[in-house]
Amino acid sequence: MAKSSSEKNGLKKGPWTPEEDQKLIDYIQKHGHGKWRTLPKNAGLKRCGKSCRLRWANYLRPDIKRGRFSFEEEEAIIQLHSVLGNKWSTIAANLPGRTDNEIKNYWNTHIKKKLLKMGIDPVTHTPRLDVLQLASILNTSLYNLPPQFNYPSLSGIGRSVINPSHMLSLLTTLLSCQNRNYNPDVLNNNQLSDSDTLLQNQPQCSQMQLDSIQAFQPNQPHVSLQENHIAKSNSNPLNMESQVMKTKLENHIIPIATPFSHQNTLPNLWLYNSEGHISDLPTMAQSSSAMQRFSSPKFNSIYNNNLLENQNLCNNNEGAPNFNLSSLLSSTPSSSSPISTLNSSSSATFVNGTTEDERDTYGSNMLLMYNISNGLNDSGLL
DNA sequence: AAATCTCTCAACCGCCGCTGT
DNA sequence: GACAGCGGCGGTTGAGAGATT
């Protein structure tokens, strides 16, 4: 009878049996571990040394803490990952009782997904702005424009009510602007992209869309994009904010540097407080215990390094926010498409929910920070 | 109730760095 | 310096459990 593939070379593979576990435990209790190569033979196990070491380190070790990760542990993992990246063993060293394998698994199956849901790039820990999230943000913002932003609505009557075609065109415009870093020469020349052509075919929308897009820069005077086109690219609000941010960071005078800082890579979105008014970030941070957690000196020092790094990336791209549709679509795991991601995130009960999402810290704060809500239907559109 | 899909996580694999010879 | 052995690390896989249709 042929040996199964898991027993070639006389070495067993696959799941450990209770008997094997007991043999390993007994041996290590008597002789200690180490010498993993010879251990299995001495312990009477038909396993390779590596397999024994892994089984011991990840499962049988007496000091291993089992069970779900606590709120604090999850927070620590996110913070440490923002600094260390995928250095699971180093992260594990800071979480007593947790193994690198366990943390790695937890990251890949839980935290990573949560961050993606909330529009955060799990690699850079910065907002992951893409067209679909943009749709959600735009939708939310346009439906909730505070009184002081009483720009002409796209419908022409009172509050903005945008139909799907308007929203699509708006997004297209935004994308084309972003992709060209608001370069006035490009915007004004005749080499129009498909999206520009699309826009031009909808003349009833274009100017108002441009103005509406500008309205999404609350810290800037209300200047139309066409006026912006006249300006040099290095004076566009995105680049200016990038430069200011960089300078502040270089001078170490950032009062708050958190993963939620709107000064980071998503500078043109704003917050509403409970009265529906735009809030200053520091004010928000002071009034939110959740935000305060990430405003500690400890966290600032951890995060500043990443901010600098990301800011450099941003500047290398001439200040344009780092998003593009193609990379989004190619990088998004099939199991969490942008559309399903947004829809599921939109239902997150981060305010007073009782589901597991309640445990979201980073993600919930990102939701609060960017006011991302359910703006999409099942098709991913309005 | 059955089939199918999705998720989780233990375990494996290949690579890398360190150490001793 | 070159080589071999070993332990450790991070990425990936796949079986089983649970959820959904």
- A13-60 against A71-117: fold identical: yes
Q: What percent of chain A has pLDDT over 90?
A: 6
Q: Does position A362 have pLDDT exceeding 80, yes or no?
A: no
pLDDT (0 to 100) of residue A30: 87
Write the pLDDT tens digit of every residue in A2-60: 344 445 567 888 899 999 999 999 998 888 877 888 898 889 998 988 899 899 988 89
Average pLDDT across chain A, whole number: 52
Every domain of chain A and the residues it spans:
13-60, 71-117, 131-337+361-370
A159: its two tokens = 């509050």
Query: pTM for this one?
Result: 0.48
User: Separation of CA A89 and C1' B17 in angstroms?
Assistant: 15
> What is the pLDDT at residue A130?
60
* Nucleic strand C near CB of residue A101 (< 7 Å): yes
Quick check: A54 CB within 7 A of strand B? yes
The pLDDT score that the predictor gives to residue A103 is 92
Q: What is the mean pLDDT of residues A236-258?
A: 33
Q: Where are the alpha helices (DSSP H) in chain A?
A: 18-31, 39-43, 49-55, 71-84, 88-93, 100-106, 112-117, 131-143, 164-179, 184-188, 194-200, 203-214, 225-230, 237-250, 281-287, 289-293, 297-316, 325-331, 338-346, 362-370
More confident residue, A103 or A184: A103
Q: Which nucleotides along chain C are within 7 A of a protein C-beta?
A: 5-12
Return the CATH fold of A13-60: Arc Repressor Mutant, subunit A (1.10.10)
Q: What is the pLDDT of residue A85?
A: 87
**Would the pLDDT of A93 be above 80?**
yes
CATH architecture of A71-117: Orthogonal Bundle (1.10)
Q: Is the CB of A277 under 7 A from strand C?
A: no
pLDDT of residue A31: 86
pLDDT of A235 > 60? The answer is no
Q: Going by C-beta distance under 8 Å and a sequence separation of 6 or more, which residues neighbour residue A55?
A: A16, A20, A21, A24, A47
